[in-house]
Structure 1
Amino acid sequence: MKLTLTAVALAATLLAPLAHASQDAPTAHEQKALEIYRTAISMRTAEGFGNVPKLANYLAAEFKAAGFDEADIHIKDMGETAALIVRYRGDGSSGKKPILLSAHMDVVDAHPEDWERDPFTLIEEDGYFFGRGTADNKMGITSLTSNFLRLKAEEFVPNRDLIIAFSGDEETGMVTTKALANDFRDLTGAEFVLIADAGGGALAEDGSVLSYNMQAAEKTYVTFEMTVTNPGGHSSRPRSDNAIYDLADALKKIQAYQFPVSSSELTRTFFRKSADQAEGDLGKAMATFAKNPNDAWAVKTLRSYPEYVGTTGTTCVATMLKAGHAENALPQTATATVNCRIFPGAGVENTLNTLKEVVGNPAINWTVTYEPTESPASPLRDDVIGPLTKAVHALHPGVEIVPYMESGGTDGMHFRAAGMDSYGVSGIFMKGSDVYAHGLNERLPVKAFYDALEHWHILLTEIAG
């Protein structure tokens, strides 16, 4: 359907009931959401452009216009970026702490000259919305913002406070995320966190629904540098020891090593529920691992699939090399970068010690490139899964809710590390072939946009109604 924006009064925009996206004309609420989406996409909120505060101020103005008290809207400037906190006050009838709602305003940059369309102009074409951040994560920003506006207009009173916490540098240093989880805890303290930047529905290539995946844990992301030094010398006078050869020997040992199998209630549940969707040996291995994580055949089979090896334990892999200073000189230094995704509870220090033991060369110097954040897995809470199931089944009846552990990194790691259970519960349903986040020509199916709006409306009213 072809959508256009119309200038309508805020009350009229928001009081209309939400309709299904299959209707010929968008509802007033959907139009307002599209306006927010379009505006957010137009702002190049990548690192170095200083536009995150601009987006935060735009959103703050929308909340004020919708009737949110200015005292409940906080913009926290931090260098060139910012965080936004908005509290939707409840009546306290649940007697429970608030629920925090997380998304991020920044994006990975896009160079217009590389794209087929302007990445900072929202374009609808062939059933998709194109633009940088259409999926990651301007959709999350739009879903939460527009539903706060809609619920306010509907005079919805939650039974506990709902708090939006939008970070401004999730794609880079996560400084604003750390501040939201720790420094601004007087504004963001919550019983648990719902994350709009993770989770979501998986579609088969024919469009049929496979499952809904709820993120409940993240592996610890850490990068080590291992450096070999040597006196070097003239290349015409080779010596028995060589920094590059010594480093290569160490890397071959890391390549051959597999970390011990790790599992948790979360990962076993993931494999048990995923087994029916997989075919042949993969499905059998998933089911077997769920019952017995130490089954050698199941472990070997799962670890032969790059998309599942990380769910069976810690992984470490060489990703970069730097060595030598001249083509006619023996290398004085050789450095390799080793990136690890550590299973929750395994520990950064234990992983580094394991790598040192595997390499067996005490002359190698190891450094951590930055301070990693270790976070525990979140428990599978009924008070989250129940409302989430209702929201998912309202649009996709009977779909399985599958909890999973993220091998990448989201804001959730910092909230979990700060003691707040966190769950990725995006409303987006997509095919794997439609995922272009961080890449060229990022896109989101138009239907996914409107369905995600409804997903969040149902989820928020169920979980705090």
Structure 2
Amino acid sequence: MRHLFAVLAASTLIPAAAIAQDAPTSATGKEALGLLTRGIAFKTVQGEGQVPAYAAYLKQQLVSAGFADGDVTFVPIGETGYLTARIAGRDRKAKPTVVLGHMDVVAADAKDWTRDPFTPVVEDGYVFGRGSLDNKANVSLVVATLMKLKREKWVPKRDLVLVLTGDEETEMKTTQAAANAFANAGLVLNADAGGGALGEDGKPIAYGLQAAEKVYGDWHLTVTDPGGHSSRPGPRNAIAVLANAVVRIANYRFPPQQNEITKASLAGTAAATPGELGAAMKAFAANPADTAAADILSADKRYVGQVRTTCVPTMFNGGHAPNALPQRAMANINCRIFPGTPRAEIEKKLVELVADPTIKVTFRDNGTIEAGASPLDPKVVGAVKAVVAKRAPGTPVLPMQEAGATDSMHFRAKGIPSFGVGGVFMKPGEIFAHGLNERVPVATIDPGVVWWEELLKTLG
């Protein structure tokens, strides 16, 4: 391990000119930047086996800041695992607070990127690299902050436990294990969700406090047929039968829904949104039965995930030869389900829309779980508002529902209040998580470590 760290240290050094141009000025910010650039170089993609090495590096840093070796542990699970670090609180009987994040990243093909995705580059005010935003930026901010607090001998009221999972982007087995291990937690602060939005002028316009997320679900639709010679077609063709069913699903709109999170989010956003869209936000927040307003919101990709369940075809495969009738055709239907709606109810609707008993509808389990929204905790909302007011006075805090999926679902499913409270502020148009040339602004690092310190102290 020591040799591995030495090699990575040499290979991840950033040119001094680049650092001088965009470097944080605080000691903790500089430490966070170092953690981030080192962290990007660990190729923590599924199948690469690098999560344990990255976790060992983070443990090394935490221990160097004063954490006892026994207070920082790594639990291996297959090729990956999860890391925990604990700061003991004054009241050891109180339910601990978990600060949650993930060490793994999605795959990236170097030939498609402007820069190698696993070679960190600080350039033009950004840190480039796979995972620079999702989720190694906030992981680095949190770790650097905990290192500072440990050096200062800060003691929270209750135990504070850092939990970094190793397969959030894939099977979430480490998340399930961590949620079981910390089922006694009283609160989860998720570093992989929430955050501040900047306008084109670089000024903060809103902070999103994530308190709910859609439930993920994949279903396979499969049609089989004896097939035959393409010159002798019959009344039934597997691809055509499946295509018609997929079109019916694609054209269907699920009924609009609302919870306290989406209501507050849309009501808060409406005032700053001009025209028909803003009017629709206001109308739908006031009346979730307003289908006309829901349809206007659904026509905008930014808000379709806030008003209803969505099911869309994402993959299609059929046939085995260009001159033969297809013997098999398969389509994947990906659903993002409004919290509180059972998957069984969605599957029932898909079967109804397919309207053909010869089409097999099969749920594909990927480790995600059904979980409702976290009720808005006044203490958490108040703490976030107080910290936002220090960082960006006058910036509204808006509860938000994630259209995607995060580790929080496994804690919410156990009834543990979980909130996305990331410390990164950036322009929405510059968010390339999971995409090409992923990056995070260097300018968010200094205020980001202050964000985490203020939030943990306010709540702790």
Q: What TM-score comes out, normalization by structure 2 length?
A: 0.92
Alignment of 1:314-393 (within 5 A): 314-371=309-366, 372-393=368-389
User: Which residue of the other structure, out of 265, 268, 273, is the alignment partner of 1:270?
Assistant: 265
User: Which residue of the other structure, out of 416, 437, 450, is the alignment partner of 2:433?
Assistant: 437
Q: In structure 2, how many angstroms separate the alpha carbons of the residues matched to 1:83 and 1:25?
A: 29
User: Which residue of the other structure, out of 96, 99, 107, is the alignment partner of 1:98?
Assistant: 96
Aligned partners of 1:210 and 1:277 also within 8 Å: no
The AA in structure 2 aligned to 1:103 is: G
Aligned partners of 2:238 and 2:328 also within 8 Å: yes
1:408 aligns with 2:408: no
- Per mean C-alpha deviation after superposition, the further-off stretch among 166-175 and 112-121 is 112-121
- Per the TM alignment, residue 97 of structure 1 is displaced from its structure 2 partner at its CA by 1.3
- Matched with 1:89 is 88
How many residue pairs align between the two structures?
440
The AA in structure 2 aligned to 1:63 is: L
Residues 211-261 of structure 1 show CA distances to partners (whole Å, capped at 9, x for unaligned) of 100111111111001112222222221111221221122122212211111
Q: In structure 1, how many angstroms separate the alpha carbons of the residues matched to 2:167 and 2:110?
A: 21
In structure 2, do the counterparts of structure 1 residues 23 and 434 end up closer, same or farther at CA, with 3 Å as the change threshold? closer
Q: In structure 2, how many angstroms separate the alpha carbons of the residues matched to 1:249 and 1:89?
A: 59
Tell me, what secondary structure is at the counterpart of 1:140? helix
- Per the TM alignment, residue 210 of structure 1 is displaced from its structure 2 partner at its CA by 1.6
- Matched with 2:279 is 284
In structure 2, do the counterparts of structure 1 residues 23 and 454 end up closer, same or farther at CA, with 3 Å as the change threshold? farther
Q: In structure 2, how many angstroms separate the alpha carbons of the residues matched to 1:420 and 1:219?
A: 17
Residues 420-441 of structure 1 show CA distances to partners (whole Å, capped at 9, x for unaligned) of 1111100111112221212222
Aligned partners of 1:217 and 1:377 also within 8 Å: yes
* 4+ long deviations beyond 4 Å: 21-25
Q: In structure 2, how many angstroms separate the alpha carbons of the residues matched to 1:75 and 1:131?
A: 25
Alignment of 1:288-327 (within 5 A): 288-327=283-322
- Per the TM alignment, residue 22 of structure 1 is displaced from its structure 2 partner at its CA by 12
- Per the TM alignment, residue 104 of structure 1 is displaced from its structure 2 partner at its CA by 0.7
Q: CA RMSD in A?
A: 1.9
Q: In structure 2, how many angstroms separate the alpha carbons of the residues matched to 1:463 and 1:434?
A: 31
- Matched with 1:457 is 453
- Matched with 1:74 is 73
Identity of aligned residues (%): 45
- Matched with 1:124 is 122
- Per the TM alignment, residue 336 of structure 1 is displaced from its structure 2 partner at its CA by 1.2
In structure 2, do the counterparts of structure 1 residues 196 and 324 end up closer, same or farther at CA, with 3 Å as the change threshold? same
- Per the TM alignment, residue 25 of structure 1 is displaced from its structure 2 partner at its CA by 7.0
- Matched with 1:4 is none
- Per mean C-alpha deviation after superposition, the further-off stretch among 201-210 and 218-227 is 201-210
Structure 2 unaligned blocks of 5 or more:
1-19
In structure 2, do the counterparts of structure 1 residues 122 and 240 end up closer, same or farther at CA, with 3 Å as the change threshold? closer
Q: In structure 1, how many angstroms separate the alpha carbons of the residues matched to 2:305 and 2:436?
A: 26
Aligned partners of 1:205 and 1:433 also within 8 Å: no
The AA in structure 2 aligned to 1:167 is: T
1:147 aligns with 2:172: no
Aligned partners of 2:370 and 2:409 also within 8 Å: yes
Q: In structure 2, how many angstroms separate the alpha carbons of the residues matched to 1:199 and 1:221?
A: 19
Residues 415-463 of structure 1 show CA distances to partners (whole Å, capped at 9, x for unaligned) of 1112211111001111122212122221111111221111101101111
- Matched with 2:413 is 417
Aligned partners of 2:131 and 2:438 also within 8 Å: yes
Residues 185-219 of structure 1 show CA distances to partners (whole Å, capped at 9, x for unaligned) of 3xx63111001111101111121222100111111
In structure 2, do the counterparts of structure 1 residues 88 and 286 end up closer, same or farther at CA, with 3 Å as the change threshold? same
Residues 46-92 of structure 1 show CA distances to partners (whole Å, capped at 9, x for unaligned) of 12221111111111122222222222221101121121011111111
1:115 aligns with 2:110: no
Structure 1 unaligned blocks of 5 or more:
1-20
